[in-house]
Amino acid sequence: MAATATLGKRMRTIGFHTGASALSLLWFLPIALILVISFRSTDDVLGNGLNALPHSFAPGNYSAAWSGGGMQQALINSAIVSVPAVVVTLLLASMAAFALSRYEIPLRRTLILVMLGGNLLPPQILLVPVAKLSQVFGLYDSLPTLIAVEVGFGLGFYVFVLQGFMRTIPAEIQQAALIDGAGPFQIYWRIVLPLTRPALAALAALSFTWVFNDLLWPITVLVTQSKMPVTPALLSLQGQYVSYWNVIAAGSVIAAIPTVAVFLRFQRHFIAGLNLGAVK
């Protein structure tokens, strides 16, 4: 009896791993093919077809995408935009969340929902006015404008998540600080912010990915090709290297590396961030 039970269990385990491996392989197949194509020479791809096994090794595709395709400048631009955008967003959002969760602000809930509602708006409704307003104020086609737009549009979501998190911090901690004579700023900076670190880390990983991957806002507020961040730059690389699938593949891989690195390094935070964002 016991022997058949363990045998059955083993068979089920083997069955599970077979199924899960097949699923994972299927999921990974497009990535694997793109990686292979990105290292094949143009003659090889044209002569032997996209699905053929590699007959060449051409890392030159990466340097073509890097310098000729403008991915180097694009990565620099993306860093200039994403890093300040994430820092400023989280700073502003944590300030608002601190005040809204730890103090009795008039219209507290309404404010939270109005801010969250702004984030849920379809961005399309903002595109024309944002482009036109930034032209009127002479801010069109500049990276700081893009940073400001990314910050403003994301803010509501982060305020909502962070205030929910900060409400769980016990009141006693704050009272102890008050008795020690700490002002609101010290309570925010020295007590609440450090205790909010898990949520901040999760949201930082998430918002970096969102800003880095964004296409719509950059193509709305920027026109100069050399100012474009990675995602729109990838589209112009596609236009520049029409039918050079190996170079386009290399460009896509370059564009994906930073977010994959963030994901692999901060995997736990990343997953936590996605679940934090989900309103239960």
Partner 1 sequence: MTLLHTQAPVAPAAAPLRRGRLRRGGPARTSPLILAFVLVPLLVESVSVFWPAIQGVYISLTNWNGVDAPSFAGLGNYSRMLHDPVFLKALGNTAIWLLLFGGLSAAGGLGCAMFLQRERRGIAVYRAVLFLPVVFSLTATALMWQTLYQPTGMANGLLSAIGLGGWQHAWLANPNTALYAQILPALWREIGYVMVLYLAGLKGIDPALYEAAKMDGASAWQQFRHVTLPQLRGVNAVVVSVIIIDSLRSFDVVWSLTQGGPFNSSQLLSTYMYQTAFVNTDFGYGCALAVAIFVLAFGVIVSYLVRAFKESD
Q: Which of residues 184-243 bind partner 1 (CB under 8 A)?
A: 184-185, 188, 209, 212-216, 219-220, 230-232, 234-235, 238
Q: How far apart are CA 85 and CA 73, in angstroms?
A: 18
Q: Which stretch binds partner 1 (CB under 8 A): 3-11, 56-64, 67-75, 260-268?
A: 260-268
Residue 17: CB minimum distance to partner 1, A: 7
Q: How far apart are CA 256 and CA 250, in angstroms?
A: 10
Q: How far apart are CA 152 and CA 88, in angstroms?
A: 10
Cα Rg of the chain, angstroms = 24
- Which of residues 63 and 236 has its CB atom nearest to partner 1 in the complex? 236
Phi, psi at residue 255, to the nearest 5°?
Answer: -65, -30
* Per-residue binder mask for partner 1 (CB under 8 A), 36-65, x = binder: -x-----------xxx--------------
Query: Using the rule CB under 8 A, which residue among 80, 83, 111, 195 binds partner 1?
Result: 111
Residues 6 or more apart from 152 whose CB is under 8 A from it? none
Q: How far apart are CA 206 and CA 272, in angstroms?
A: 9
* Per-residue binder mask for partner 1 (CB under 8 A), 124-163, x = binder: xxxxxxxxxx--------------xx-xxx-xx--xx--x
Sign (positive/negative) of CA torsion 78, 79, 83, 85? negative
Query: Using the rule CB under 8 A, which residue among 23, 68, 190, 265 binds partner 1?
Result: 23
Does residue number 105 form part of the binding site for partner 1 (CB under 8 A)? yes
Query: Using the rule CB under 8 A, which residue among 40, 102, 227, 269 binds partner 1?
Result: 102
